[in-house]
Chain A
Amino acid sequence: QSALTQPPTVSGSPGQSVTISCTGTSSDIGSYNHVSWYQQPPGTAPKLIIYEVTNRPSGVPDRFSGSKSGNTASLTISGLQAEDEATYFCTSYTTTYTYVFGSGTKVTVL
């Protein structure tokens, strides 16, 4: 199972919106809505920020939103803040009953 494809880096100024894509196949993202996103600041464990494509866990700011179309999922950060600097990973359940992660996207706030 190959990793889901994400852009290596994305950047934006404070207050801007950025979108991170996560491209898979019909064997993972295209088959299920079991797509989640994780935020990982340097030196820390990942943190769940979006699950089932569009849902936010309690405590996650509403400037984080998710969507999906076909084999591609997306994470949008609206109103970018300095504290959003981190690496973001997507993951999807697959048709072989396993999980696959994205390659990761480093978000830089200019």
Chain B
Amino acid sequence: QVHLVQSGAEVKKPGASVRVSCKASGDTFPTYNVHWVRQGPGQGLEWMGIVFADGRDTRYTQKFRDRLTVTRDTSTSTIYMDLRSLRSEDTAIYYCAREEDHSFNFDHWGQGTLVTVSS
């Protein structure tokens, strides 16, 4: 059974950076891609980016391309999302989600991490 456990809530000031982690359990970690999706207060889901199974290749939506970095540490089965130059509009719940073997869907999700950006 796959579990994705995310780090705890964060409060940041505008202009700061945040790192959210997503630790995976299970021995298939090297074989799947991990996506990041966010959801603003009362809003819909927004796809942000992906780190592929090899850990070297990433892809981000245009909106976040200049301030988002997603990395993975195979030794600890942990994926990291770094978002820089935070603004109030970045206040949201951030989810990691697994995509197994180029299945083009997200079959397991983390519990979500609330990031609040406020002065």
In the complex the two chains form, is B44's CB within 8 Å of A104's CB?
yes
Q: How far is the CA of A2 from the CA of B46 in the complex (A)?
A: 10
Question: What is the bound-complex CA distance between A81 and B111, given in angstroms?
Answer: 25
Residues of chain A in range 70-97 having any CB-CB distance to chain B below 8 Å = 89, 91, 93, 97
Query: In the bound complex, do residue A36 and residue B104 qualify as a contact, i.e. CB atoms below 8 Å apart?
Result: yes
Q: How far apart sit A12 and B95, CA to CA, in the bound complex (Å)?
A: 30
Q: Known contacts A89-B44, A101-B46; is A46 also within 8 Å of B106 by CB?
A: yes
**B103, B105, B109: residue with the most chain A Cβ atoms closer than 10 Å:** B105
Give complex CA distance A40, B103 in Å: 20
The answer to the question of A34 belonging to the interface, with a C-beta cut-off of 8 Å to chain B, is: yes
Q: Report the number of A-B residue pairs with Cβ-Cβ less than 8 Å.
A: 58
Q: Residue A48 contacts which of B44, B47, B107, B110 (CB distance < 8 angstroms)?
A: B107
Which residue on chain B has the smallest CB distance to residue A32? B104
A20 to B59 CA separation, bound complex (whole angstroms): 30
A34 to B62, alpha carbons, bound, how many Å? 20
Question: Does B45 interact with chain A (Cβ within 8 Å)?
Answer: yes
Knowing A1-B61, A45-B112, the reply to whether A101 touches B106 (Cβ < 8 A) is no
Residue numbers of B with Cβ under 8 A of A are: 35, 37, 44-47, 59-62, 95, 97, 103-107, 109-112
- 8 residue pairs bridging A and B, Cβ less than 8 Å apart: A1-B61, A36-B104, A38-B45, A46-B95, A89-B45, A98-B61, A101-B45, A101-B46
Residues in chain A within 8 A of chain B (CB atoms) = 1, 3, 32, 34, 36, 38, 40, 45-48, 51-52, 57, 89, 91, 93, 97-104
* Beyond known contacts A34-B104, A38-B45, A48-B105: 5 more, CB 8 A cutoff: A46-B45, A51-B105, A91-B105, A101-B37, A102-B44
